Amino acid sequence: MGIRRVMFTFPPERIDQPVIYNLGLKYNVVTNIRRADVTADRGWVILELEGAEEDIEGGLAWVAGLGIRVDPAAGDALEG
């Protein structure tokens, strides 16, 4: 099991879709939203993903394939 922190940046056409929920279902990954800012036309989310490395990798490739930007997020967004 591994843990990875990532940042998703959503294009306007993906804002209203349950991408994070579906990521957890399709790839058996536990998602923990650490910080987010979402409006009607844009959004970003910092997530902690926990699961098997191959599941995390597959899930991130799927998310990127939807046109969502995926970047690594260092540190803990909620700490000082």
Q: Is 52 contained in some domain?
A: yes
Q: How far apart are CA 44 and CA 70, in angstroms?
A: 10
Q: Is 79 contained in some domain?
A: no
Query: pTM of the prediction?
Result: 0.88
Domain count, the chain: 1
Tens place of pLDDT per residue across the chain (80 aa): 899 999 999 999 999 899 999 999 999 999 999 999 999 889 999 999 999 999 999 999 999 999 999 999 976 555 54
Cβ burial, residue 48 (10 Å; 0-12/13-18/19+)? middle
Q: Is 80 contained in some domain?
A: no
Q: Is 47 contained in some domain?
A: yes
CATH of the domain at 66: 3.30.70.260
Q: Is 29 contained in some domain?
A: yes
Q: Which SS3 state, helix, strand or coil, does residue 18 take? A: coil
Task: Supply 46's token pair.
Answer: 């910092």
Q: What confidence score (pLDDT) does residue 1 get?
A: 87
Domain that holds residue 52: 2-72
